[in-house]
Structure 1
Amino acid sequence: MLKYVDAAIHMPNNIETVKFLTTMTDSDYESFLNLSPFPPFSEEVITYLNSLSKLLNKDPRVRQYPDVATFSFFCRKANIVQLKRMFLKDGALILGRGIVFHIAPSNVPVNFAYSLIAGLLSGNSNIVRVPSKNFEQVKIIVDAINTLSHKSEHANITNRIILVKYDRSSEATERFSLVCDVRIIWGGDETIHQIRTNPLPPRAFDITFADRYSICAINADSYINEMLPEKISVGFYNDTYLFDQNACTSPHLIFWLGNKENVRKSQMIFWDSLYKIVSEKYQVQAVTAVDKITSFYSQAIMGSNLSLEQKKDNLLYRIKLGELTEDIDQFRCHSGYFSEYHASSLLELSTVINRKYQTLSYYGFSKKDISGFIKLARPVGIDRIVPIGKTMDFSLNWDGYNLVDSLSRVIEIF
């Protein structure tokens, strides 16, 4: 007997705008809907991910895309086994929830793959909507997944993966929502609101990763003694320019802490070093240049105590703030647009942090410094705190969610 009503069980291949990136027939789809869940971190999934990692490592295209290389590194067996020790509860009887429908963000190419991995590791079958834009990174990973689909030893995992691409006008979101146990939505606030108009089964629920704002704190008293400032700049470039500063994890507001003279010197070293990297690797489109200057004018109108630091071109905008205002997160742009402020202490960060704040990247602070700040300030925002260069590193704890717990269910025996 099929678990779902007939109206929902037919694969939506009659919707012209849906493109299936993995091979799937009507019969395959019906079987997919009735697959039993795995326990989290099953050996079959670990083996599959390790094979995926090896396959990606052999692909010469990966060398051009550090985000794909990082994803491949994440999938290694050694890393997954370590995560298993961290996330799996000894002795607990746990299974995946069933089917997870992932709606990936349109502006971060590899995010769909991490979301898929979270679903697999939690024991679930997965329907993943990949970005509609033609990212080469997406193609590389999808090619590897399809290659593994021809390996008989991985059949029990590949039949739990459906990858689709479609535009916003498609009815596919409604169809897939009707058969899922969990719907994961990565996107802006308006996108989430629109997707939520599509009903879920009674016991299903949403996990939403909404529009967020991220910041960076640099201790100038430490940075001034940094022997390899270029390394820090490369990390910051990867945090920001690599995805046009559109990722929720990309910092927009930079806090400088320390002696005034050290801050001045550190800013000069840091931004000059970053500019050299940007000028070699990055190009600004004409429309982006207009967006930047328009954003600055809007910010200048609303706040008088600020200035645009001298710039050579449109690659890097630095807006120096004389004071912090609670609405600073409203003034943001992309592709290299940064507000910066000299803070008296980490505690001053809490005067602007609200629920929209996600990631705090840092340099020159100890974990004791950071944890002390969090314990004292108890901010309503900030879910991730990572060193500069690590903001895009995926974790199974994301935006305050333990994804393994959220995507699995504990079965109690009394």
Structure 2
Amino acid sequence: MPEAKLYPDVVTFAFWIRRSSVKKLAERFQAEENCIHLGRGVAFHIAPSNVAVNYAYSFAAGFMTGNANVVRIPSKDFPQISIINKAVNMALEQYPACRPYICFVRYGREQRINDALSSIADTRIVWGGDRTIAELRKSPLGPRASEITFADRYSLAVIDSDAYLAADNQPRIVDDFYNDTYLTDQNACTSPRLVVWCGSQTARAKERFWSLLLERVQKKYEFQSIQGVNKLTNAFLAAAAQEGTHMISCGDNRLVRISLDHLFEGLMDFRGDSGYFYEYDCQDIRDLKAVCDDTHCQTVSYIGDPQMFLPLLKTGVRGIDRIVPVGKTMDFDLIWDGYNLYERLTRTIHIS
């Protein structure tokens, strides 16, 4: 482009991204030649209060990347926390040299404590939603410190009715879906709140799928009355916000299905939990852009062929960080929410 030559900074950028330069960058980073990776230093983790084991995943990521970790564990006394912490203490008895790298703390919302821990942090990792992030940002970080934030997110599931009905392991698929949703009362950001059906046998597949799920729920899930009240409230709000929204009776408040004539922006403002699902029959996968073109959209789980999502992704959708099979939504990885935690939690020393 002749006009680019008028601007030295544009020329410099164009030179840097030329084909041969990009190939060299790829080769260097793949081989990681002449580089040493170290932990950034002190990692201050703020775990969400409503998910029992998230703090452990966050800690593991910080620990494996070589950081000293201060982890604020949930204020709610989940039994899972005691089990995990006991295992950590047992490991530390065998490897006492690791003790300076691990500090689990529990406290309320005192800003003075947030201030103190943020002031010594080289990286701050905040889980728990937009409000928690805003509160923690009142506590300043050092000039060289970095921050990784996991904001409010929502997820959905897409089920190809033909693939589901052709599967030999339909009960296992339903068990996997149960684990993705009911085990955390749908409070995990990875838990589907919307179930999208596609294919040529949606009515038959839905009848089979939901009846199997209801059997599981009635046997396994402990239900509280307040959960039913919250579900009814969300259903009324969604119906008031958009015509064509109606409840499908399942005969049990443990499972509430809300049928949608079409998807609309803002649907997830009315998302519920504890077995509350919006449901939509999809003819064109690109229709999902109405709910996926939002940076709050995180995980899409599926039954069928993941290639079906390519037309949606090619629209340039702003959401969706993960596409995984049903049953794998909570499988943690160092690539999470669009972050490469290995890179974000280390610093690179280049030797030339």
Instruction: Name the TM-score, length of structure 1 as normaliser.
Output: 0.75
What letter corresponds to residue 183 of structure 2 in structure 1? L
How far residue 299 of structure 1 moved from its aligned partner, in angstroms, is 0.9
Could you tell me which residue of structure 1 aligns to residue 123 of structure 2? 182
| Pairing 1:150–2:88 present | no
Q: What is the rounded CA distance, in whole Å, between the counterparts of 2:280 and 2:45 in structure 1? A: 38
Mapping for residues 31-180 of structure 1, pairs under 5 Å? 89=32, 91-151=34-94, 154-169=95-110, 171-180=112-121
What letter corresponds to residue 124 of structure 1 in structure 2? N
What letter corresponds to residue 381 of structure 1 in structure 2? G
Q: What is the rounded CA distance, in whole Å, between the counterparts of 2:57 and 2:304 in structure 1? A: 29
How far residue 159 of structure 1 moved from its aligned partner, in angstroms, is 2.0
Alignment match of 1:267 (pick from 202, 206, 229): 206
Instruction: Please give the secondary structure, in 1, of the residue aligned with 2:251.
Output: coil
Alpha-carbon contact 2:285-2:312 (below 8 Å) kept: no
Q: What is the rounded CA distance, in whole Å, between the counterparts of 2:59 and 2:296 in structure 1? A: 25
Gaps of 5+ in 2: 1-28
Alignment match of 1:320 (pick from 256, 259, 266): 259
Alpha-carbon contact 1:109-1:135 (below 8 Å) kept: yes
How far residue 87 of structure 1 moved from its aligned partner, in angstroms, is 9.0
How far residue 242 of structure 1 moved from its aligned partner, in angstroms, is 0.3
Structure 2 vs 1, CA of residues 211 and 375 (structure 1 numbering), >3 Å: closer, same or farther? Answer: closer
Alpha-carbon contact 1:130-1:165 (below 8 Å) kept: yes
Alpha-carbon contact 2:35-2:351 (below 8 Å) kept: no
Alignment match of 2:287 (pick from 348, 353, 360): 348
Q: Structure 1, residues 150-186: CA drift from partner, whole Å, max 9, x if none?
A: 22xx122222100111111363221111101000000
Gaps of 5+ in 1: 1-85
Instruction: Name the TM-score, length of structure 2 as normaliser.
Output: 0.88
| Pairing 1:363–2:306 present | no
Q: Structure 1, residues 238-257: CA drift from partner, whole Å, max 9, x if none?
A: 11110000111011011100
Alpha-carbon contact 2:173-2:326 (below 8 Å) kept: yes
Could you tell me which residue of structure 2 aligns to residue 378 of structure 1? 316
How far residue 90 of structure 1 moved from its aligned partner, in angstroms, is 5.0
| Pairing 1:250–2:221 present | no
Could you tell me which residue of structure 1 aligns to residue 18 of structure 2? none
Alpha-carbon contact 1:213-1:252 (below 8 Å) kept: yes
Structure 2 vs 1, CA of residues 89 and 369 (structure 1 numbering), >3 Å: closer, same or farther? Answer: farther
Q: Structure 1, residues 110-162: CA drift from partner, whole Å, max 9, x if none?
A: 111111111011111100011111111110010111122222xx122222100
| Pairing 1:401–2:342 present | no
| Pairing 1:212–2:153 present | yes
Instruction: Please give the secondary structure, in 2, of the residue aligned with 1:171.
Output: helix
Instruction: Please give the secondary structure, in 2, of the residue aligned with 1:311.
Output: coil
Mapping for residues 3-14 of structure 1, pairs under 5 Å? none
Q: What is the rounded CA distance, in whole Å, between the counterparts of 1:295 and 1:88 in structure 2? A: 51
Q: What is the rounded CA distance, in whole Å, between the counterparts of 1:322 and 1:286 in structure 2? A: 29
Alpha-carbon contact 1:306-1:322 (below 8 Å) kept: yes
What letter corresponds to residue 82 of structure 2 in structure 1? K
Alignment match of 2:139 (pick from 184, 194, 198): 198
How far residue 91 of structure 1 moved from its aligned partner, in angstroms, is 4.5
What letter corresponds to residue 258 of structure 1 in structure 2? G
Alpha-carbon contact 1:87-1:404 (below 8 Å) kept: no
How far residue 385 of structure 1 moved from its aligned partner, in angstroms, is 0.8
Could you tell me which residue of structure 2 aligns to residue 332 of structure 1? 271
Structure 2 vs 1, CA of residues 400 and 339 (structure 1 numbering), >3 Å: closer, same or farther? Answer: same
